[in-house]
Amino acid sequence: MTTTESGPATGQAALTPKILGPEPRIHPEARVFQSTLGAYCDIGAMTTISESTVGDYTYLVDQCSVIYTAIGKFCSIASHTRINPGNHPMHRATQHHMTYRRVAYGFGPADDADFFQWRRDDRVVIGNDVWIGHGAIVLADVTIGDGAVVAAGAVVSKDVAPYTIVGGVPAHPIRERFPRDIAEAMQRIAWWDWDRETLEARFDDLAGDAEVFVRKYA
């Protein structure tokens, strides 16, 4: 095993490569509440995950915020990403959170449970093998399909089709990752559901060309 060392210009100390395993790796400065994390997950520093599920092999880099979300397997989520930041009650006379965080402001003995259930019901669903770039925001009640890409800084307010690259504010389709027949075949293969032994046996194919992969496994 080797270590990674920075060049002399940076002056950083040598870094020991992280080793992931069946138990998720959670940075000591990350916070996870009422959530389920899969095998080989990696949760970075100052990331918070609340009432969510995170599939096997998915990683979130530092300072991400996730609530009321189902994230699939093998997702790559860059730092400073915000997933499901939560809507305010625009239909009320005031949208200030004193109307639902009543205890903190002395307006009642309990907070507004119905309001928080309303937020929970507007879950975000993220498929498998999705890449979400730095600083992206995914708003409530959005579904992102398998294999999609969300560009850095994008604000996703509508559903994203599988294997589609989106970007901008609000996010809009930029292009397809693969031709439609290849994308559909990838979803039928659903390699993300392979067990560890199969992944190891077919690893070189996963790291290779998508069309060759589809011809072999479709």
Where do the domains of the chain lie?
A: 25-87+122-177, 178-218
Torsion of CA 71, 130, 125, 145, to 10 degrees: -150
**Once rounded to an integer, what is the mean pLDDT over residues 83-110?**
94
> Mean pLDDT over all residues of the chain?
93
Query: Which of 27, 88, 97, 172 is flagged as catalytic?
Result: 88
Non-local CB neighbours of 71 within 8 Å, separated by 6+ positions: 52, 53, 54, 55, 58, 77, 83, 126, 130
Residue 92: count of CB within 10 angstroms of its CB? 11
Residue 217, phi then psi, degrees to nearest 5: -115, -10
Token pair, residue 175, equals 């292009």
Residue 192, phi then psi, degrees to nearest 5: -65, -15
Q: What's residue 7's pLDDT?
A: 35
Q: What's residue 17's pLDDT?
A: 80
State the CATH architecture for 25-87+122-177: 3 Solenoid (2.160)
- Judge whether residue 30 has pLDDT over 80: yes
- Judge whether residue 3 has pLDDT over 50: no
Catalytic residue list contains 97? no
Q: What's residue 15's pLDDT?
A: 66
Q: How far is CA 53 from CA 81, 138, 159, in A?
A: 16, 16, 19
pLDDT, one tens digit per residue, over 167-208 is 999 999 999 999 999 999 999 999 999 999 999 999 999 999
Q: What's residue 45's pLDDT?
A: 97
